[in-house]
Amino acid sequence: MTQDDMIQRIVIVGGGTAGWMAAAAFSRVLGAMPGLLITLIESDAIGTVGVGEATIPDICLFNNLLGINENLFMRETGATYKLGIEFVDWYKKGHSYVHPFGNYGIDMLGIEFHHMWLRGLSIGDNSNIDEYSIATMAGKMERFMRPDVNQPNSPLSKFSYAFQFDAGRYAQFLRRRSQAQGVERIEGKIVDTLLDSQNGHVRHVQLEDGSKIEGDLFIDCSGFRALLIGGAMGVGFEDWTKWLPCDRAVAMPCAYPNGQSGADSEPLTRSIAQPAGWQWRIPLQHRIGNGHVYSSAHMNAQEAEKILRDNLDGEVLGEANHIRFTAGHRKKAWVKNVISLGLSGGFLEPLESTAIHLVQTGISRILTLFPTRKCNVKEIERFNQQSIEDYVTIRDFLILHYKATSRDDSEFWDYCRNLEPPSGLADKLAMFESSGRVFRENNELFTETSWLSVMVGQGVKAGGYHPAAHLISEVETKERLRHIRGVIKQTANAMPAQADFLRQQGAIMPQEEMK
């Protein structure tokens, strides 16, 4: 490789969360490369979706990569902690469960804990699987502390955490860091793109004022418009509406009632099933993020907005933001010298808070496969293959929530209950229903614990358990289960309240910013 082969200019098209995450990561990791310039183009006249306020634990790795002080980040973005997602009314009305960040119980005899729990069910121990999760129990008690890896035998080492934050403030937070690290921001609206006649690469984008921004590598963070990957490069879209029929959302923040603070809330995101979709509730320090995701084939926008307004905790803080989307992904995430990130590459509804994670994994993959100006075909093929695998495994996990339900109170739920699942999901369900086993394929995002929590929570019945569970007597099995429940409850109860932890860490948002 010669100096002439090296990427000299990265152009990020679009700001928002995806754009500024990319800018912050590239400038942090690649900023010292000789002669490298990183430019981000965005227009204040173009809004961003900006509702991706809940995350999963991998966000901690991203923030650590950027060298972000967690307490500063919490203050700047109005963040609260998140120990899992509570699903309400999904299996049936009046029922709820938590998908926790962490493990259940403790493995015994070399087999996963849930086989001992299943054995317990068969002999009369009717305890709920939630009782064996420190993340779930602490979340319901409004308690939080960071995991303690120095106590491997304690429940305190058996969980992880994520954040709930203001996506707009997070983007601004990363913008300040990016610009301090040398990223150039250009204000402007892109009106045209010029392709190289010989190799098909994007040579430059043209702005409304006539200026032309040249680049060697273009990162498309233009949202649903997909200006480069869909427009200039003409990449088609894989539509998954038949499996994920929700195609609309309405978002609306609200205040806390009676002067309460998000610091005093449960460190859990909540998803409440509705007649034609579901409603999210995300407690931030300074407000509650709310939204209603629904199927336009089963409900109109006015009804969807009314359902959302009728189920808010406090005073509405902004106008209703109506969003249209199609579940699926671009058939190729990387073509020539254009790589899509975020909504330009695809969309999967925020049911399991995966939107920011997909941006993060895309950034990580770009850094791993960072090209020369030639953009090697093998690197592009690997990137595209892995990107599609990410979407497929997340898709199957989301479909599980809709497919595994006993609800029959609307046309929407009838449709979902009778879905023919994709082969990967069908195999997982068949395995669990025959033997109680859960397998994680190819290091997919969601762990065995995640799949177990949703299958059990949504009423999928295990057809058995590992035979080795019989090596412990019935009496001892019940005693061990009782002891584990007790230790987890006692440990969770000893954790500080989330509000106290935030105050102790100096992570409370300044009062003047609480607006």
pTM of the model: 0.96
Q: Where a domain ends, among 375, 407, 442?
A: 375
- The binding site for 7-chloro-L-tryptophan consists of 82
- Asked whether 248 and 301 are in contact (CB, 8 A), the reply is yes
Predicted local distance difference test score (pLDDT) of residue 49: 55
Same domain, 178 and 154: no
| CATH code for the domain in which residue 339 is found | 3.50.50.60
- Asked whether 500 and 507 are in contact (CB, 8 A), the reply is no
> Is 319 a domain residue?
no
Same domain, 128 and 225: no
Q: How many domains does the chain have?
A: 2
Q: 22 vs 63, 88, 221, CA distance in Å?
A: 12, 34, 9
Same domain, 191 and 130: no
- Asked whether 42 and 221 are in contact (CB, 8 A), the reply is no
> Is 153 a domain residue?
yes
Predicted local distance difference test score (pLDDT) of residue 44: 80
Same domain, 342 and 490: no
Tell me the backbone φ, ψ of residue 492, rounded to 5 degrees.
-60, -40
Predicted local distance difference test score (pLDDT) of residue 256: 94
> Strand ranges (DSSP E) for 16-137?
37-42, 80-82, 84-88, 96-100
Q: 391, 402, 396, 397: which is closest to 277 by C-alpha?
A: 402
Catalytic residue chosen out of the listed positions 82, 140, 158, 428: 82
Same domain, 47 and 124: no
- The binding site for FAD consists of 15-18, 343, 356
- 82 is a catalytic site residue: yes
DSSP state of 44: T
Q: 222, 212, 290, 304: which is closest to 47 by C-alpha?
A: 222
- Asked whether 454 and 432 are in contact (CB, 8 A), the reply is no
Sheet containing strand 321-324, strands side by side: 96-100, 84-88, 269-274, 277-283, 288-294, 248-251, 321-324
Specify the amino acid at residue 192.
D
Q: What domain range is 444 assigned to?
A: 103-159+393-499
> Is 251 a domain residue?
no
Same domain, 130 and 208: no
- The binding site for L-tryptophan consists of 352
What count of Cα atoms within 13 Å lies in the side-chain half-sphere of residue 130?
Answer: 20
Q: Name the strand (E) or helix (H) holding 394.
A: helix 377-403
Residue 439 to residue 424: CA distance in whole angstroms: 11
Same domain, 359 and 427: no
Same domain, 171 and 137: no
> Is 284 a domain residue?
no
Same domain, 32 and 112: no
Q: 13, 2, 38: which is closest to 367 by C-alpha?
A: 38
Task: Please give the average pLDDT of every successive group of 10 residues along the chain, which has 515 residues.
Answer: 82 96 98 94 72 86 97 96 98 98 94 97 97 98 95 92 95 97 96 96 96 97 96 98 97 88 87 98 95 98 98 94 96 98 96 95 97 95 97 98 98 97 97 95 91 98 96 97 97 96 95 69
Same domain, 223 and 369: yes
